[in-house]
Amino acid sequence: MQQTDWNILSILEWTTRYFKSKGITEPRLEAEVIMSFVLKKDRVYLYAHFDAPVSREERKILKEAILRRVNGEPSAYITGNKEFMSLNFHVTPAVLIPRSDTEVLVEKVIELAGGRINLKICDVGTGSGAIAVSLALNLKDPVIFATDISPAAAAIAKHNAELHGADIKIVTGDLLEPLRDEKFDFITANLPYIDAASYELLERSIKKYEPQTALLAAGDGLEFYRRLIPQAFECLNPNGYLLFEIGCEQGQAAIEITREFADSYIIKDYGGRDRVIVARKEE
């Protein structure tokens, strides 16, 4: 690439081709995300100023980021940010990167809430706080708690709550143990649910960079939920709901372990795969 070509568009096009040659999914999007990070601008800016020059120092930072990406490091950890429910969340390797499939859980809670105010909610294993913060900003004056066993994850969730001005009480502890005396209208969870065999089949970048403790679960992958469900049943108000994310092949097994609830059902993600269990406590 000649120096005269060092503008936003030419570098974006080169990076897209390079990412594609390395087998990176959605190479154009990845190129835009990294370019936006380096330039400290949003993606709209890239197209509004496609002929703007990219400085030597910016090119140096960009090159380092591109190399990290082709070596398998997720863009979210390179940039320190990931979008979820149209909000930007700070992420580090201490927390799982939020996935768009988890948005169906948030959307279902909003639907079930039906515009009610002051609902009391707990997000268990909150990680980056993506679920808790999204609910705080999309419901009417909710009272939201969030727990995580990892102090590092709890600190990131706190940072994200402050970043978005979300009033969330974040507690460090195992599942619902720190809040056993509280009662909730909704309990949400995206706990580790990947069994050992399935974990070995994950993409290399996931296994290398994302926290194993946020992904891997014993046995068939539902052990954390087997521990959570009795706690959640005790902590839910009558007609309260537990919603939790599962693997796409765990639907029926997960329904079985919620039989104490009045009713439970599966909702699918945007790809049509089983993704979330919704369980309602009797009135």
Among residues 189, 181, 222, 173, which one has the least CA distance to residue 122?
189
Q: Are residues 265 and 191 in the same domain?
A: yes
Question: Please, what is the average pLDDT of the chain?
Answer: 95
Instruction: Report yes or no on 112 lying in a domain.
Output: yes
The answer as to whether 76 is a domain residue is no
In this prediction, residues 104-123 reach a mean pLDDT of: 97
Has residue 77 been placed in a domain?
no
In a domain, 37, yes or no: yes
Mark whether 143 and 239 lie in a shared domain.
yes
| Residues 26, 137 share a domain | no
Is the distance from CB of 89 to CB of 106 less than 8 angstroms? no
We report the CATH number of the domain holding residue 234 as: 3.40.50.150
Report whether pLDDT(2) > 90: no
Give the SS3 label for residue 68.
helix
Task: Give the CATH number of the domain where residue 65 resides.
Answer: 1.10.8
Inter-residue contact 5 to 54 (CB < 8 Å): no
Give the SS3 label for residue 119: coil
For residue 16, tell me if it sits in a domain. yes
The span from the CA of 173 to the CA of 195, in Å, is 23
4 against 225, higher pLDDT:
225
- Read off the pLDDT band of 1 (50, 70, 90): very low
Could you tell me if 221 and 263 lie in one domain? yes
pTM above 0.85, yes or no: yes
Q: Are residues 18 and 146 in the same domain?
A: no
What is the number of residues in the chain? 283
Q: What does the pLDDT average to over 146-173? A: 98
pLDDT in tens, 22-79: 999 999 999 999 999 999 999 999 999 999 999 999 999 999 999 999 999 999 999 9
Q: How far is CA 17 from CA 5, 21, 66, 203, 269, in A?
A: 15, 6, 12, 21, 30
| pLDDT category of residue 5 using cuts at 50, 70 and 90 | confident
- Enclosing domain of residue 117: 82-280
Whether residues 44 and 173 fall in one domain: no
Q: Which of 50, 71, 92 is the last residue of a domain?
A: 71
Q: Give me 253's structure tokens.
A: 């097994």
pLDDT at 262: 96
Q: How many domains does the chain have?
A: 2
**What share of the chain has pLDDT > 70, as a percent?**
99
Mean pLDDT of the region 194-219? 94
Can you tell me the distance from the alpha carbon of 270 to that of 103, in angstroms, rounded to the nearest whole number? 9
Give mean pLDDT, residues 123-138: 98
